[in-house]
Structure 1
């Protein structure tokens, strides 16, 4: 019997936080709304949305907002993160956010790429950012 890859169990609370955050995004220039929600190993949850400004494309990504809120609360590890956007293509974290997630992740951190219907793809940190450079490279 071949072991089939296990489908990720959807954390409905995080999924709904990401969905709510996406609905609150401030994206008057791109019209591209993104929400993110994460949980730490301690069970604390944080959310973020993208926020644009007139100096577009300068702004803040949803993942960066959630991570900033996590750090402000004294947490430093992401257990899993949900990233939600609109459209037919997968809305994966941008390059900068991949590095931000990497800074606070472990090899077991799961990145769930979602749309408003559910999880479309789950990636490990290694799949999202292979051969990454992290804090341990500086030691």
Structure 2
């Protein structure tokens, strides 16, 4: 770990504190929005991580666990719960018979689109996103 030797200015501390505050506010907003649409925050994060995976609309459980920063075991449990709710589906991985691919269902996509629109509006409102 690298430590800064020169004292930091008050402006730097204020900037970092404000940044953390805005992240926390957005996360609080996001968690409440997910719950208001019948999802847990983790379920919403899972849907977004699958649909937003770079270059494709499916992921392996291992990739998903990395994106969500949870253990593989916890991720499989979350996938199971989302699958039971009809939000995602598993399909065989044609490149690896030991693995499956996770995709968002039409039902999951409908909820995700609604939540994503709400989140984009909040980001615009807070001026963190410029069109």
**Rg bigger for which structure?**
2
The alignment's TM-score, normalised by the length of structure 2, stands at: 0.29
Structure with the higher helix share, 1 or 2:
2
Structure 1-normalised TM-score?
Answer: 0.27
